Every structure is written in structure tokens, then in C-alpha cells.
């Protein structure tokens, strides 16, 4: 099946997702699973933004609530405080790069868009953890990432029983996409949720079947960067998982991924360049 080129409207400008783009992660949480991804002060935050830009990132994704398995709950007030402290700095350093905020709370989304001009809302719960999120995103008219997850970050790994993983995920996304479209949300991005409510084997089954999700004719976001599906299988810790991350991201690109959410932007940008070179019909071999 030939994939239709995708674009999303970010702040009144169309961002092409063909070729795929890199979303660089900025963690402003003290408990991220990958310690090197955390930024602890204003200068390191500025340097992280510049690194994402220089390494080829096209979107910045800011998270103030760790969603690693078993992460502690953070109050809405604390999440807002962390974001208020960081978003102005990120905006000043970002050279108009689109900014995404990783939150499942509608009031946080509203604040980030209305007060700081955030361009994208990235919701790990696809509206399940806040009944007002869909209506809020519809009013804000920003691109919205819906991820597949059951439960919440504290309970998600207790919810890995499926009658049929892919069929259940298709039903989940179909229901949410229909509701969002009925509300008038124009730019919907689907994230299959690697590492969320899935066993190690289920993650690899999902990778094998990833191209099936092109049936929705929507952009696909993949987030596997340094996750346990890599290092628990290959050995080591998150710090050892860059090579595995690059391999999975390359497979995802070949299966139709449009946005790759990563810690290591340059390695991912290089993978995209190589895939594009391979697909370049004008390439000549002497």
C-alpha cells in the first residue's frame, strides 16, 4: 500500500512529515528512566534545545510527568510549575521549532497552548485519564497525539492481557479517531505505545505488524528510544540501548513511521537520511 504524504498544521504553518521527522525529547522530570535525558538547570535546558536543532530535530517534545512503568504520580500543580519554568526558556532557544507537550491533563494542555503557544499535545492516555481532553484539544485546534495504553503509568504493566493485540488496538484507535473527528480535531497522530501495557514479546509483535496501522491514513509516531524492550532483550541498561534504538527506528521507517520520538536526535536523523537515499529514484550507480 502506497503511503500518502502527511502534513500537520503547527501554528498556522504546514509541517511536512514526508520524509519522516525527528521529535527530540526534553525531560524536565527528576525521575526519567534515562538519566542522561534529564535537564536540571536553565543553561542545560538551553543547550539541550540547541543540540536538538543542530542534530536535525524538527519537533521538541517536553515532558514534566514521567510515564515510565511504575513512575510516581505528580500533581497537576507540580506539572504546571515545571512547565511554566521551562517553556519560556525553550521557546526563546528553539528558533520557532514546533513544541509539543507530553501531558494527559486538559488544564495543562490549555495552559501550555494559550499561555506559551505550544503547538502539539502528546497524550499517552488518548483522553482516558481526563474526560475533558478531547473537547479541550478540539477548542485549541492543535495537532493531537493519541497513544495506546491501558490503565495509567502506575498500573499499565498489569494490563497486558489481550484477546488479539492488533485487533484490540485497532478498535481502540478507531473509536477515539471517530470521536475526535466528530469534534472537529483536524490533525490526529497515532502512537502505538511501545512499552505501554505490553509485554516484551507483544512489543515485537507490534513492531512486526506496524505497517498495518497505515490503514488509518494518519501520521504514525513511534517512541522506542532506549526502552526496556531493547535493553531487557539485548542486555544492559538504557545507556547501552542506542544501537538497538537505531535498528528499531530504521525498521519503523521502512514500515511507514512519520515521527520518531528520541533522545538521540542525530542517530535518528541519520537513519532517516539513509532511508531517503535508498528510496531516491534518481540515485545512479556507476
Three-state DSSP class for residue 58: coil
H or E element: which one contains 147? strand 144-147
Domain architecture of the chain: domains with CATH = 17-278 (3.20.20.20)
Per residue in 104-133, pLDDT tens?
999 999 999 999 999 999 999 999 999 999
Pairing mode, strands 13-16 and 7-10: antiparallel
- Return the minimum-mean-pLDDT range out of 24-28, 53-57, 59-63, 69-73: 69-73
**176 part of the active site:** no
Radius of gyration of the chain, Cα coordinates, nearest whole angstrom: 18
Query: Could you give the CA distance from residue 264 to residue 115 in angstroms, rounded to a whole number?
Result: 29
| pLDDT above 80 (res 268) | yes
Three-state DSSP class for residue 100: strand
For 74, phi and psi rounded to 5 degrees?
-120, 135
**209 part of the active site:** no
Beta bridge partners of 9: 14
Closest CA to 14 of 191, 186, 257: 186
User: Is the whole model's pTM more than 0.85, yes or no?
Assistant: yes
Q: What is the mean pLDDT of the chain?
A: 92
Beta bridge partners of 23: 59, 261
Catalytic, out of 58, 176, 226, 227: 227
Q: How is the beta sheet containing 99-102 ordered, strand by strand?
A: 188-191, 144-147, 120-123, 99-102, 59-63, 21-27, 259-262, 221-222
Mean pLDDT of 83-87: 92
Amino acid at each position: 500500500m502506497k503511503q500518502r504524504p502527511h502534513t500537520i498544521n503547527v501554528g498556522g504553518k504546514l509541517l511536512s512529515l514526508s520524509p519522516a521527522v525527528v521529535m527530540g525529547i526534553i525531560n524536565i522530570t527528576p525521575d526519567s528512566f534515562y538519566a542522561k535525558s534529564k535537564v536540571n538547570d536553565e543553561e542545560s535546558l538551553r543547550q539541550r534545545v540547541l543540540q536538538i536543532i543542530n542534530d536535525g530535530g524538527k519537533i521538541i517534545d517536553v515532558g514534566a510527568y514521567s510515564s515510565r512503568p511504575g513512575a510516581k504520580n505528580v500533581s497537576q500543580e507540580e506539572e504546571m510549575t515545571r512547565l511554566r519554568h521551562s517553556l519560556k526558556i525553550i521557546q526563546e532557544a528553539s528558533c520557532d521549532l514546533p513544541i509539543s507537550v507530553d501531558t494527559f491533563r486538559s488544564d495543562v494542555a490549555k495552559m501550555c497552548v494559550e499561555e506559551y503557544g505550544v503547538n502539539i499535545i502528546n497524550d499517552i492516555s488518548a483522553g482516558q485519564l481526563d474526560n475533558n481532553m478531547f473537547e479541550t484539544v478540539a477548542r485549541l485546534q492543535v495537532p493531537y497525539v493519541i497513544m495506546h495504553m491501558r490503565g495509567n503509568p502506575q498500573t499499565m504493566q498489569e494490563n497486558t492481557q489481550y484477546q488479539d493485540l492488533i485487533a484490540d488496538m485497532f478498535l481502540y484507535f478507531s473509536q477515539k479517531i471517530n470521536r475526535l473527528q466528530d469534534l472537529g480535531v483536524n490533525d490526529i497522530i497515532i502512537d502505538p505505545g511501545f512499552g505501554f501495557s505490553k509485554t516484551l514479546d507483544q512489543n515485537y509483535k507490534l513492531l512486526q505488524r506496524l505497517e498495518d496501522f497505515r490503514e488509518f491514513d494518519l501520521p504514525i509516531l513511534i517512541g522506542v528510544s532506549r526502552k526496556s524492550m531493547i535493553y531487557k532483550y539485548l542486555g544492559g541498561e538504557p545507556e547501552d540501548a542506542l544501537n538497538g534504538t537505531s535498528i528499531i527506528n530504521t525498521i519503523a521507517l521502512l514500515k511507514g513511521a512519520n515521527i520518531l520520538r528520541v533522545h538521540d536526535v542525530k542517530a535518528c536523523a541519520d537513519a532517516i537520511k539513509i532511508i531517503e537515499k535508498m528510496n531516491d529514484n534518481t540515485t545512479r550507480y556507476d
